[in-house]
Structure 1
Amino acid sequence: MSHTVLALGIAALTACGCVWYLPAVADLQAGADRPRSMRTAAAACVLWWAGLAVAGGLLLALPDWQPAAQIALAGLVGGVLLRVRALRYRREEEREACARWAALDAGPVPRSPRGATVALAGWLLVGAAVASLGAASILLSGGGALAPRLVLAAASAAGVALAFLLVGLGNVRRQRR
């Protein structure tokens, strides 16, 4: 294969690699706004692609392929070393973040039985209000005899109050877990 064809292939590959090295360059330009691990990983990415681009240029300029291969290999090895360093930095940053979050943790929130009692009282109060409003609306509807309306009002009020009582008891049970 001709050096020119190989150099053109490397140039096309390097041009397609812009989706990796352009964001890496942006991370490097951001400086201290990015964590040290991210900057080091970005430097590794740029070094890999720069080594490949320089190797492609050397294939066009020099008749021998060995200098281009040496530059590409140097970029690869340097990039791998930087990437390993970035992984170490990342682990350190994660340990620091865990220590910071652990320092902020005050432990579980103590639960008092008073909160559950107040919640149950709230459910019962709202249930009684809804039940009495429903019973009043049935009684005041004025359709038919009074006895069936009284039975219907009492049954619906008891059903609504029972539903609110059950919901309140379930809420208390969940809070005590």
Structure 2
Amino acid sequence: MHHTVLAIGTAAVTASGCVWYLPAIADLQAGDDRPRSARTAAAACVLWWAALAMAGGLLLVVPGWEPAARLALAGLVAGVILRIRAHRQRRAELREDGLRWAMLDAGPAPRVPRPGRGPGARTLLGWLLVGLAVSSLGAVSILLSGGGPLAPRLATAAGSAAVVCAAFLLIGVGDVRRHHS
């Protein structure tokens, strides 16, 4: 596949991702009006999409696809690290809120029962299936790309598939927690 086609496809995916990164940019611009965990999660989202956009631009400039793939993977890994940090910050914020409620002697903060096997499980399954599809396509494209011995390509395909699948799983867990709790 020609690099221009990959760059156009990446631009189309990045443009359609505006439903995620535009609200994230708004959260970042809100500053202290948003909790620290929300701002960190928004920074992860913007980082993911910015890395993908830059990788698409790199596909137009550099003759090989490897630098663009490395840039996209670096953005994905950095975004996952930020997402984990946001999760830890959120847990700390919830503990702090619990302590504040206890200091008011109003009892513990109200707990919402966890959803059963309802819409949350279906949402998580949907994210996981999309992650499996994307990671499988990426792995197959790496394997079919040629260029060198099979063992390094196989290792790269397996590693990138695992990272992409884990990223989609983390996004799905965050989505379920945000919308179903």
Q: TM-score, normalised by structure 1?
A: 0.59
User: Residue 63 of structure 1: SS of its match in structure 2?
Assistant: coil
Residue 106 and residue 98 in structure 1: after superposition, are their counterparts in 2 closer, same or farther (change >3 A)?
A: closer
Determine the C-alpha separation between the residues in 2 that align with 1:66 and 1:31.
Answer: 36
Partner amino acid for 1:73? L
**Structure 1 segments of 4 or more deviating over 6 A?**
none
Residue 61 (structure 1) shift: 1.0
**Alignment partner of 1:19 is 2:16:** no
Paired residues, what number? 107
Determine the C-alpha separation between the residues in 2 that align with 1:7 and 1:106.
Answer: 56
Determine the C-alpha separation between the residues in 2 that align with 1:106 and 1:30.
Answer: 31
Aligned to 1:165: none
Aligned to 1:49: 49
**Alignment partner of 1:97 is 2:110:** no
Determine the C-alpha separation between the residues in 1 that align with 2:61 and 2:106.
Answer: 65
Determine the C-alpha separation between the residues in 2 that align with 1:103 and 1:72.
Answer: 46
* RMSD across aligned positions (CA): 1.0
Q: Structure 1: 5+ residue runs without aligned partners? A: 108-177
Greater gyration radius: 1
Residue 97 and residue 12 in structure 1: after superposition, are their counterparts in 2 closer, same or farther (change >3 A)?
A: same
The CA deviation string for residues 38-69 of structure 1, in whole angstroms up to 9 with x for no partner, is 00000000000000000000001111111101
Partner amino acid for 1:7? A
Determine the C-alpha separation between the residues in 1 that align with 2:89 and 2:12.
Answer: 33
Residue 106 (structure 1) shift: 5.0
1:127-146 to structure 2, matched below 5 A, reads none
The CA deviation string for residues 95-153 of structure 1, in whole angstroms up to 9 with x for no partner, is 0001111111256xxxxxxxxxxxxxxxxxxxxxxxxxxxxxxxxxxxxxxxxxxxxxx
Residue 35 (structure 1) shift: 0.6
1:82-121 to structure 2, matched below 5 A, reads 82-106=82-106
Q: Structure 2: 5+ residue runs without aligned partners? A: 108-181
Aligned to 2:132: none
**Alignment partner of 1:79 is 2:79:** yes
Q: TM-score, normalised by structure 2?
A: 0.58
